[in-house]
Amino acid sequence: MMHASVWGLSVVDLAVIVVYFIAIIYIAIRVSKLVKSREDFFMGGRRFGKLIQTFAAFGQATSVENVTTTTTMVNANGASGIWAMLAGGLINLPVFWMTSPWYRRLRLLTMGDFFEERYGSKRMAAFYALCQTIFFVMIGAIGLMAMGKTIAAITAKPESALTTIERVEYAKAIEREKLETADFALLASEQKARLAELQLLNPKKEYSYLNENLLICIVALITLLYASIGGLAAAFIIDLVQGAFIILLSILLIPFAMLKINSMYGAEGGALGAFTTMHKVLPASFLELWGSPSLVEFTWYWIAGFSIMIVLATAVQANQMTACGSAKDDYTARYGFVSGMLLKRYSSVMWGVVALLTLVLYGGTISDPDYVWGHATRDLLGPVGIGLVGLMIACLIAALMAAKSAFMITAAALVTNNLYIPYRPNCTEAHYVRVGRVFGALYMMTSAYFAIQSNGLFGLFKMTMMFNSILAASFWLGMVWRRSNAAGAWASMVVMFVATVVLPFGLPVIPGVRQSEYLSKTTQSIPVSRTYIAREMDVQERDRAVAKWDRLNAASLAEGLRPELLTSGEKFQKEVLLPKKSIFWSEGFEFREGKAIGRGNLKVELIALDYLGWDLSKNSYSLNETLTFLFRIFIPFLVLILVALFTQAEEKARLDQFFGKMLTPVIGTHEDDDREMELTRANPNRFAHLKLFPGSNWEFRKWNREDWLGVGGATLAAVSVVVLLVVIIGLGS
């Protein structure tokens, strides 16, 4: 009982969590009896139907960091922050309908095998495996870190329990909070300078009884246990269970948040009272879906650049092979994957709704937005006292483990198949399964280590989204352009690996680089003026400003004219200070003895642009971020095309076999598919009539009825997500 009261968890909450863990381990043990070969362990025997494929795709694509990232972005950027999860994901839906069969038709064990077969290079397959292992370690670290932060917030310390050191930083966070809520134009000059200083310091306000690092290690261990016991089959079957938990996670807080808002503000508007209150309370800028001058990140061009980059990068992720290649046939692969992705998009809208409701409830009182979901869980579900807090923790852990178990299997398959087997061929299948389990364990341990070492969820999230630009061009052009060759692919990958990994992470190791005055450049901290309709928060803020001016005036210390009082519904001008943002460092700065020290990795493409004479300090932070996306969209494709055109083409016979296979549909049983592939191997051009540009180097396929209907349906589904978002944001207005 002592631990339950200290951690803020009841016996019922703890019981729910324990029962959940026991259930998934039991499922894994039962499924482990099906594992007899590498294909069973890494691909589930390619036996899954539409239901399992849907929830497998949903589970792989959805993790606890998605929830916390959306909450963080909405807290920082208002409703437009929901695009953190939707950008790219909506464009991807019709694209996925066309690309999902690729992975099933490859009929390979890993995506690394694609590079070996298409470009005839085991070394390229090994390089791909290395890059994707790094990528999945980062993804794993993000999920573990997000889960740790969120659950730590559920067990947060009250102010009275803070240590002396924690109290000092807490006081700075409170000071920043008060200055940021004021109208910048009404602040005294020293207050403006102090606000700019505190925005760069970014002091911490939330502290927890829970040791986040210990929690990360425990969850990593449990994920490792059930995934290594039962392989992909266990991960996917448990995803079916965890999918229900994730959907519950997405909606559980909404009714409780609405009830509390109605209790706090009155139930005007009936069932939609909470949304009516939201429009009355939140500043108008926070309900602009497409961003506003006072919100830094999500401009239309940021959304467009990020979306295109996500479309290109997602296709080359190794778990695409795991998610689609494990389906029993083409149609199951595309139906399951697209429907799973659609489920995630709808869930993303729900996460955004929860985040907006928490803004009404808590405003800016939680300085670290990564803690908002956990704080809301404790505040809204804790008083009910029937184990709902424990259920939410189980949901959060389910969302993490659903994705990370599949990623662990994927990473283990890559290392085993494309790094280990080339050096240890001709071993037994049982040996390779054991080796896969060992590599899976190493993967989880490494992810946990980086989760403990990292700071800042969204910065790391963006890094992972950009990471696959290293491999994107070689995959996309390898699939559709015969002229794409090993020389071009290598050139593209090496250039992007140097620009994405070697320089950004290597240069900061050099002594003095993090302290460089040149690299401490920031965007300008400029006031932005905008006309709004006064909401309740605006009125309260102005009342506080007037009261403060009156106090200072009584002491003959007031500056400028007395602010005018506001009434709700009145138009007014508000000035907001756009905070300075580091141009070159991914995680901004920390300050030691008054000197800025760069944190995170370097954005070398922006350094190059700055050296070429473009003064990036005059750009908005959003524009500079968009430039990093454009670099990763165009440069790898340009390098590959230029090098391929001036070097020798790949062997025609091998290309004929590869593209002949990609035109051979997977239908019927495994035996049926084997017979079809025998015919294709004998005559690789038997489906040449399906090519859109026969006789050319372009391998685009003519669309059939299923393609047209699927792309049309996926497009309508994407539109329905946007419509749902617009309707929900507009409720009560």
Distance between CA atoms of 434 and 228, rounded to whole angstroms? 9
Residue 276 structure tokens: 């009516």
Distance between CA atoms of 373 and 370, rounded to whole angstroms? 7
Provide, rounded to the nearest whole percent, the portion of the chain with pLDDT above 70.
84
Contact 249, 377 (CB under 8 A): no
Stronger pLDDT, 60 or 355, i.e. the higher one? 355
CA 462 to chain centre: 7
Q: Could you give the domains of the chain?
A: 2-156+206-300+319-456 (1.10.4160)
Task: State residue 6's pLDDT score.
Answer: 44
Task: State residue 356's pLDDT score.
Answer: 87
> What confidence tier does 2 reach under pLDDT thresholds 50, 70, 90?
very low
Per residue in 603-633, pLDDT (tens digit) is 999 999 998 888 888 888 888 888 988 999 9
Per residue in 526-579, pLDDT (tens digit) is 666 667 777 777 777 788 778 877 777 776 777 777 888 888 778 877 666 667
> What confidence tier does 192 reach under pLDDT thresholds 50, 70, 90?
confident
- Helix, strand, or coil (residue 576): strand
Q: Residue 233 above 70 pLDDT? A: no
φ/ψ of residue 595, rounded to 5: -110, 135
Query: How far, CA to CA in Å, does 503 sit from each of 252, 491, 497?
Result: 44, 16, 9
Stronger pLDDT, 608 or 246, i.e. the higher one? 608
Q: Residue 322 above 80 pLDDT? A: no
**Total count of residues recorded for the chain:** 733
Per residue in 51-82, pLDDT (tens digit) is 777 777 777 777 666 777 777 778 777 787 78
Q: Tell me which residue of 471, 99, 488 sits closest to 309, measured CA to CA.
A: 471
Q: Tell me which residue of 652, 730, 660 sits closest to 689, measured CA to CA.
A: 660
Stronger pLDDT, 481 or 670, i.e. the higher one? 481
Task: State residue 493's pLDDT score.
Answer: 95
Q: Residue 637 above 60 pLDDT? A: yes
Q: Residue 96 above 60 pLDDT? A: yes
Q: Residue 224 above 50 pLDDT? A: yes
Q: What is the mean pLDDT of residues 245-256?
A: 80
**Which of 96-100, 248-252, 376-380, 637-641 is modeled with the greatest confidence?**
637-641
Residue 548 structure tokens: 């403060």
Q: Evaluate the CA torsion angle 257, 261, 264, 268 in order and state its sign.
A: negative
Contact 356, 257 (CB under 8 A): no
- In sequence order, the 6+-apart residues with CB closer than 8 A to the CB of 14 are 4, 390
Residue 668 structure tokens: 């019927």
Mean pLDDT (the chain, rounded) = 80
Q: What is the mean pLDDT of residues 7-25?
A: 77
Distance between CA atoms of 54 and 243, rounded to whole angstroms? 9
Stronger pLDDT, 241 or 221, i.e. the higher one? 221
Q: What is the mean pLDDT of residues 208-216?
A: 75
**Which of 1-10, 29-38, 331-340, 594-603 is modeled with the greatest confidence?**
331-340
